[in-house]
């Protein structure tokens, strides 16, 4: 397996963090040049292997200059690794001049094929100079080297003829302005194109560096904001564990919340976005036919008596709710509230059972079109039933209190009448006392019966109220 980090270290050798961006880029380009050129030379030797299957006496000097230059290139790379970029690039240029321009014609003499590729060696030298030297950082060296290559291309024929053993015949062949100007033309074209490409490369790198600095600043600011938000969430929501500062874990946090929530959560998508300026009934009909459930948690599936949430994937809202009227009522509430609900209490019928839910809806609207919506539901059916039981119990107690007060009012009136008679000395007769005491005793017994019956009813009501409260507590836990 290729280790990309090791390959990167090869090309970054000799570059330092304290260098300017331009200098660092030139060092990296030099490393690429120093390493790639020997590989290309090696490939050329492999392609020309038949030229080397012959006796040693038949070899020419120019068959080994490429190998010597490859060795010099590798040497320059190792010098560059020591941080001696100035030495390595000048040594590389001198090696180029020696092995590509000087040694072959001087030692071996000018061969006929030199006239066809010698100008390419000079053009290659000019291109290498642009790679190793920046016009902005080293304008004098840059200008001197390009001027040297231009002079070399201008006098290349005279230089080669000087070392040509067949000079007279070759001059007849070279007596052609087309060949002369073609070399200069190609020199100019190559240098202009390479110079422009290097200019674009450096400009793009500077822009990329500035963007990276801005991105680092934005990342730092974003990390600080995330850290503050994470701390706040930990304080307010102690049940959420494992919140970290990295944005890469936000998806995992969302999934945990989605799966473990005590509310039913579902996301519904439209096959195609719907315009929300359509008539209300058209919107509801379109939503009934095209709004599909794409994901939900187990709680949402269990609300509608499904054990596996996957059973609902791809199903319409009316299929999920199993009651078209309930689905229509929910969609009416959503449309009437501009596709957002915040704690709306709605009644639904699930398999012929009345249920109550607190519904929250958040929708995605783009350019006046609905794309998808999140639906959260909290089942409050048990609590609603308990509220109804309490309300009915309270109503019964009110009716009983009214009836009891009516039943107590008669005996109390008679008792008050008897006591009034006893207080009136003019009307009170001593022989009537036993009968009046008997009336008082009967009235007291009647009042006591009413109070005893009231205590029994209140005791039963207290027990039923406690039982309802216990059921509510068990449901909440």
Same domain? For 317 and 203 the reply is no
The residue among 201 and 475 whose pLDDT is bigger is 201
Pairing relation of β-strands 341-350 and 291-296?
unpaired
Question: Is position 225 within any domain?
Answer: no
Provide the token pair at 62: 């120019």
Question: Is the pLDDT score of 4 beyond 50?
Answer: no
Mean pLDDT, range 380-388, rounded to an integer: 68
The residue among 185 and 149 whose pLDDT is bigger is 149
Same domain? For 285 and 145 the reply is no
Same domain? For 178 and 110 the reply is yes
CATH number assigned to the domain comprising residue 277: 3.30.450.20
Question: Is position 222 within any domain?
Answer: no
Same domain? For 368 and 392 the reply is no
- Band of the pLDDT at 463, cuts 50, 70, 90? low
- Band of the pLDDT at 475, cuts 50, 70, 90? very low
Question: Is position 217 within any domain?
Answer: no
Q: Is 434 helix (H, G, I), strand (E, B) or coil?
A: helix
CATH number assigned to the domain comprising residue 410: 1.10.287
> CA 203 to CA 80: how far, in whole Å?
24
pLDDT at 430: 59
Same domain? For 153 and 43 the reply is yes
pLDDT at 269: 93
> CA 466 to CA 386: how far, in whole Å?
12
pLDDT at 407: 64
**Considering the chain, what percentage of its residues have pLDDT values greater than 70?**
71
pLDDT at 220: 84
| DSSP states of 20-45 | -HHHHHHHHHHHHHHHHHHHHHHHHH
Buried (b) or exposed (e) across 15-34, using 16+ Cβ within 10 A? Answer: beeeeeeebbbbbbbbbebb
CB 472 within 8 A of CB 382: yes
Question: Is the pLDDT score of 292 beyond 90?
Answer: yes
Same domain? For 116 and 147 the reply is yes
pTM over cut 0.85: no
Same domain? For 87 and 203 the reply is yes
Same domain? For 320 and 417 the reply is no
Q: Is 205 helix (H, G, I), strand (E, B) or coil?
A: helix
Provide the token pair at 402: 């009214």
The residue among 46 and 464 whose pLDDT is bigger is 46
Mean pLDDT, range 377-397, rounded to an integer: 69
Same domain? For 307 and 420 the reply is no
Same domain? For 393 and 344 the reply is no
User: Given 357, 379, 401, which residue is the final one in a domain?
Assistant: 379
The residue among 20 and 23 whose pLDDT is bigger is 23
Question: Is the pLDDT score of 307 beyond 70?
Answer: yes
Mean pLDDT, range 453-464, rounded to an integer: 62
Same domain? For 335 and 399 the reply is no
Question: Is position 218 within any domain?
Answer: no
Structural domain boundaries, residue 464: 384-476
User: Given 343, 362, 379, which residue is the final one in a domain?
Assistant: 379
Question: Is position 249 within any domain?
Answer: no
pLDDT tens column, 128-153 = 888 888 777 788 888 888 888 888 88
Question: Is position 422 within any domain?
Answer: yes
Question: Is position 227 within any domain?
Answer: no
Between 248-257, 282-291, 367-376, the lowest mean confidence (pLDDT) is in 248-257
Question: Is the pLDDT score of 254 beyond 60?
Answer: yes
> CA 53 to CA 55: how far, in whole Å?
7
User: Given 327, 360, 379, which residue is the final one in a domain?
Assistant: 379
The residue among 98 and 398 whose pLDDT is bigger is 98
Mean pLDDT, range 306-310, rounded to an integer: 87
pLDDT at 423: 59
Considering its fold, how many domains does the chain have in total? 3
Same domain? For 109 and 206 the reply is yes
Question: Is the pLDDT score of 159 beyond 90?
Answer: no
pLDDT tens column, 24-82 = 777 778 888 888 888 888 888 888 777 777 777 767 777 778 888 889 888 988 888 88
Question: Is position 450 within any domain?
Answer: yes
């Amino acid at each position: 397996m290729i280790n990309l980090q090791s390959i990167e270290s090869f090309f970054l050798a000799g570059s330092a963090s304290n260098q300017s961006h331009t200098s660092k880029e030139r060092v990296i380009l030099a490393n690429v040049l120093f390493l790639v050129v020997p590989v290309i030379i090696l490939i050329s030797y492999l392609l020309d292997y038949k030229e080397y299957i012959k006796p040693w006496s038949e070899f020419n000097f120019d068959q080994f200059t490429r190998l010597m230059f490859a060795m010099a290139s590798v040497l320059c790379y190792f010098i560059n690794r020591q941080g001696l970029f100035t030495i390595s690039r000048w040594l590389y240029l001198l090696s180029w001049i020696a092995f590509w321009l000087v040694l072959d014609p001087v030692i071996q003499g000018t061969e006929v094929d030199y006239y066809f590729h010698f100008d390419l060696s000079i053009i290659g030298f000019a291109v290498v100079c642009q790679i190793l030297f920046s016009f902005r950082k080293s304008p004098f060296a840059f200008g001197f080297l390009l001027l040297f290559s231009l002079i070399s291309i201008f006098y290349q024929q005279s230089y080669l003829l000087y070392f040509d053993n067949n000079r007279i015949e070759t001059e007849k062949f070279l007596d052609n302005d087309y060949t002369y100007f073609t070399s200069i033309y190609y020199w100019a074209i190559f240098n202009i194109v390479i110079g422009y490409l290097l200019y674009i490369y450096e400009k793009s790198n500077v822009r990329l560096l500035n963007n990276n600095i801005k991105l680092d600043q934005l990342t730092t600011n974003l990390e600080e904001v995330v850290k503050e938000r994470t701390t706040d969430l930990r304080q307010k929501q102690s049940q959420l564990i494992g919140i970290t500062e990295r944005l890469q874990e936000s998806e995992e946090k969302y999934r945990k919340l989605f799966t473990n929530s005590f509310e039913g959560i579902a996301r519904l998508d439209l096959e195609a976005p719907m315009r929300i300026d359509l008539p209300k009934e058209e919107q509801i009909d379109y939503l009934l036919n095209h709004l599909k459930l794409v994901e939900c948690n187990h709680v949402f599936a269990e609300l509608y008596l499904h054990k596996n949430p996957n059973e609902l994937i791809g199903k319409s809202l009316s299929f999920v709710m199993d009651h078209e009227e309930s689905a229509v009522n929910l969609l009416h509430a959503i449309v009437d509230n501009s596709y957002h609900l915040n704690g709306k209490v709605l009644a639904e019928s699930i398999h012929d059972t009345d249920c109550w839910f607190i519904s929250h809806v958040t929708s995605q609207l783009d350019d006046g079109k609905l794309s998808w919506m999140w639906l959260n539901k909290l089942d409050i059916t048990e609590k609603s039933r308990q509220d109804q039981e309490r309300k009915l119990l309270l109503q019964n107690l009110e009716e009983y209190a009214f009836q009891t007060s009516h039943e107590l009012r008669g005996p109390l009136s008679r008792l008050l009448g008897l006591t009034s008679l006893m207080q009136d000395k003019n009307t009170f007769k001593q022989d009537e006392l036993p009968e009046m005491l008997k009336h008082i005793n009967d009235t007291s017994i009647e009042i006591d019966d009413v109070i005893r019956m009231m205590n029994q009813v209140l005791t039963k009501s207290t027990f039923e109220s406690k039982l309802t409260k216990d059921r509510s507590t068990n449901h909440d836990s």
